[in-house]
Amino acid sequence: MYQLRQLKMLCLWVPLTALGLVIGTGPLYGGRPGKASPASPTGTQDLSKYVGADTCRGCHEEVFKQFETTPHWKTLLDRRKGKEWQGCEACHGPGADHVNAGGGKGVSIFTFANVSADEISKRCMACHEYSEEHSNYSRSAHKLSEVSCIDCHSPHHAKGKQFLLSADQPQLCYSCHQETKPEFGKPFRHRVNEGLVQCTDCHNEHGGFLTRQLRSAATQDAVCFKCHVDKAGPFVFEHQPVKTEGCVACHVPHGSSNPRLLKRSQVNVLCLECHTLTAGSGVPGLPSFHNQAQKYQACTVCHIAVHGSNFDPVFFK
Ligand code: HEC
Ligand code: HEC
Ligand code: HEC
Ligand code: HEC
Ligand code: HEC
Ligand code: HEC
Ligand code: HEC
Ligand code: HEC
Ligand code: HEC
Ligand code: HEC
């Protein structure tokens, strides 16, 4: 017994030490062991030109005070890498020439003005590309459309409540996606404007593998299952389109004039889009007794479990 306990202790101890080593020697953020890091976030090779944030503070007291209140202040604590990874110069590049010239607008310092979205994002990504959330930025519709990190984030003038956002959701998103705004004003909608659901619950604003930058749940299922778990199944009797085409086969995700966010105002019209008597379609047609002038219009009054059932092949329960 004694030996077994010792063994258990060892099992606990070894991974803890390994963890300690990683924390102890790894960089505070970013730089993954084994992957060669660039010389500096800004790609500058001549490291003698970095003067340190205290020097900047001398003339930019206000900016420095604000900087101290943001998460980027933490970069000053990271002494394992050089000055080029710390403070102001990690973003603005080496400041020696700017300082020696006595500072000034447009004088030898990187300002983010008049440069491509790509170049801006590259600077930020030098530290941020390693998180899972951001590693797909390069494939995002945002990047491909020249939207850069600082179109949504503002290191010095953030107005959002968190994450240094230039505005909070959904206003941030509406500022460019004006076409989306009316959809969330419809009578039936996800309550995004009320803050109950966020755009980024469904979309990864930083990019991902699915179309429309949709998020997928951990299980790679549709994003909708994250909240509507009861629709996920698996069911003994699946309603095929829920699995093959997904929720948008019948629902409009943002908002709709129809109850339950349905694509069609009348349920039978929706169902009949597929359940017609087209030979060879693979979709069962309506039984002949389903007279559409009568009670058979309201399909889901009888076929209640339209998302799938564990009890009934025609979804009566
Ligand atoms: C995380 C990156 C980042 C860090 C760190 C950073 N800046 Fe900036 N800075 C920017 C960006 C981006 C802009 C462009 C304006 C904007 O979008 O807010 C900017 C703009 C400025 C400006 C122009 C005036 C203004 O307020 O927009 C000054 C001055 C400035 N930074 C000084 C500093 C100083 C001093 C520090 C260190 C205390 C610092 N910056 C740290 C990214 C950074
Ligand atoms: C000797 C004083 C002095 C020092 C030290 C100094 N600056 Fe400046 N800097 C200025 C002045 C003056 C301006 C122009 C007015 C303004 O924007 O505040 C300026 C402007 C800037 C701008 C905006 C440039 C533009 O074209 O709009 C940035 C960015 C900047 N400084 C960053 C830094 C950084 C980073 C450091 C530290 C490496 C630094 N400064 C150190 C005096 C200084
Ligand atoms: C289209 C707007 C948009 C763009 C472009 C964008 N972000 Fe974000 N970012 C957001 C929003 C919104 C959040 C907050 C998400 C939330 O509330 O869950 C966020 C969160 C973050 C966070 C904190 C949360 C986390 O997951 O770590 C970091 C760091 C970040 N973004 C970095 C970046 C970088 C770096 C870039 C450029 C490569 C970038 N962002 C581009 C909108 C954007
Ligand atoms: C030198 C490395 C470095 C660079 C360059 C850098 N960041 Fe960061 N960033 C950090 C660190 C470190 C944090 C704090 C992470 C933490 O708290 O875990 C951070 C945090 C953030 C956050 C999250 C804020 C929050 O409230 O959680 C955002 C957003 C962000 N950075 C955006 C940017 C943008 C935009 C740029 C480019 C203009 C940029 N960063 C450049 C290192 C960097
Ligand atoms: C600075 C402008 C801007 C901001 C802010 C912005 N976007 Fe975008 N977004 C674009 C552009 C441009 C495209 C690519 C063209 C298009 O599809 O409209 C795009 C594309 C998208 C797409 C992909 C559409 C597709 O066809 O694949 C989604 C989803 C999206 N944005 C969501 C968001 C969300 C969520 C926010 C807020 C967190 C946001 N956007 C903020 C400009 C912006
Ligand atoms: C409940 C989940 C959900 C929420 C919340 C959501 N979206 Fe979407 N969005 C989707 C789905 C699903 C699609 C894909 C629709 C399709 O493929 O027919 C989509 C498509 C889009 C598109 C592509 C163009 C289009 O309309 O098909 C954009 C842009 C977009 N959303 C932006 C936003 C913005 C901005 C917000 C917040 C104001 C937002 N979305 C909130 C699920 C959501
Ligand atoms: C972040 C959580 C969340 C995600 C993700 C989400 N929903 Fe919802 N959904 C809700 C909430 C909360 C409500 C209730 C709305 C209300 O009461 O305003 C709702 C309501 C609905 C309704 C209407 C229910 C009714 O009784 O009228 C439908 C249909 C719906 N969602 C479909 C979807 C689809 C399709 C997706 C994926 C594209 C999705 N939802 C993703 C949270 C979510
Ligand atoms: C084949 C068409 C179809 C598909 C596909 C579909 N739904 Fe529905 N859904 C409906 C109909 C019809 C209703 C209204 C039922 C009623 O009126 O009783 C509904 C109602 C809902 C409701 C509100 C009532 C309830 O049962 O909670 C939610 C939430 C919902 N669907 C979510 C989803 C999600 C999430 C998906 C994807 C996994 C999905 N639906 C796929 C047809 C569909
Ligand atoms: C996007 C196309 C589509 C829509 C819309 C649709 N269905 Fe289906 N439905 C199918 C397919 C495909 C099957 C499965 C056929 C199979 O398993 O061979 C099916 C199966 C069924 C079955 C089981 C039949 C059987 O013999 O197994 C019923 C009942 C049914 N659907 C009712 C409905 C109702 C009610 C609606 C409207 C709320 C609806 N469907 C909307 C495509 C659709
Ligand atoms: C009054 C109740 C009722 C209503 C309303 C109703 N059905 Fe049915 N449905 C039935 C019954 C009963 C069956 C036969 C069940 C069986 O064979 O066990 C059936 C069977 C089906 C089947 C299976 C056919 C097959 O060959 O397997 C489909 C598909 C179907 N209905 C679709 C619909 C659609 C679409 C609507 C709306 C337009 C609808 N039903 C409305 C009661 C109803």
Query: What pLDDT, in 10s, does the model give residues 142-177?
Result: 888 899 999 999 999 999 999 999 999 999 999 999
Number of structural domains found in the chain = 2
Last residue of a domain, one of 213, 236, 257: 213
Which residues are paired to 237 by β-bridges?
Answer: 309
CA distances from 229 to 158, 224, 225, 226 (A): 35, 8, 5, 6
**Claim to verify: residue 193 and residue 249 sit in the same structural domain:** no
In a domain, 175, yes or no: yes
Indicate if 131 and 199 belong to the same structural domain. yes
Q: Identify the CA nearest to 206 among candidates 126, 151, 248.
A: 151
Residue 287 lies in a domain: yes
The residue-averaged pLDDT of 111-138 equals 85
pLDDT of residue 186: 96
pLDDT tier, 70 (very low <50, low <70, confident <90, very high otherwise): very high
Written as six digits, the tokens of 260 are 């339950």
- Ligand 6: centre distance to CA 254 (Å): 6
> Residue 183 pLDDT more than 60?
yes
179 phi and psi angles, rounded to 5 deg: -70, -20
Report the amino acid identity of residue 52.
G
From the CA of 211, how far away is ligand 4's center (Å)? 27
- Residue 58 CA to ligand 3 center (angstroms) comes to 31
Residue 244 has a pLDDT of 87
Whether residues 208 and 237 share a domain: the answer is no
Q: Is 213 in the pocket of ligand 5 (CB under 6 A)?
A: yes
State how far the Cα of 40 lies from the Cα of 59, in Å rounded to an integer. 24
At residue 69, what are phi and psi to the nearest 5 degrees? -90, -5
Q: Does 260 reside within a domain?
A: yes
pLDDT of residue 4: 41
User: Is residue 244 located within the same domain as residue 295?
Assistant: yes
Do residues 194 and 130 both lie within one domain?
yes
Other beta carbons less than 10 A from residue 123's beta carbon: 23
Same domain, 146 and 176: yes
Is residue 32 a part of any domain in this protein? no
Buried b (16+ CB within 10 A) or exposed e, 160-181: beeebbbbebbebbbeeeeeeb
- What per-residue confidence (pLDDT) applies to 220? 61
Ligand 10 pocket mutation, candidates 268, 281, 283, 296, criterion most atoms within 8 A of CB: 296
Q: How many Å apart are CA 233 and CA 189, to the nearest integer?
A: 24
Cα of 160 to ligand 2 centre, how many Å? 25
Asked if residue 99 is part of any domain, the answer here is no
177, 265: one domain: no
**pLDDT at residue 15, as a whole number:** 41
In which band, very low, low, confident or very high, does the pLDDT at 280 lie, cut at 50, 70 and 90? Answer: low
Among all ligands shown, which has an atom nearest to the Cα of 226? 7
In-domain check, residue 141: yes
Last residue of a domain, one of 161, 186, 213: 213
Last residue of a domain, one of 213, 240, 260: 213
The tokens for 39 are 């010389």
Q: What percent of the chain has pLDDT over 70?
A: 83
192 in Cβ contact with 199 (< 8 Å): yes
Length in residues, the chain: 317
> Is there a domain that residue 84 lies in?
no
For ligand 1, whether the C-beta of 88 sits within 6 Å is: yes
The answer to whether residues 156 and 74 touch, using CB atoms and an 8 Å cutoff, is no
Cα dihedral value 132, 149, 157, 66, nearest 10 = 50
- Domain match, 121 and 209 both: yes
Question: Within this chain, do residues 128 and 205 fall inside the same structural domain, yes or no?
Answer: yes
Q: Is the CB of 152 under 6 A from ligand 4?
A: no
> b/e for 83-113, b at 16 or more Cβ within 10 A?
bbbbbbbbbbbbbbebbeeeeeeeebbbeee
Which domain covers residue 122, as residue numbers? Answer: 117-213
Please provide the average confidence, as pLDDT, over all residues in the chain. 84
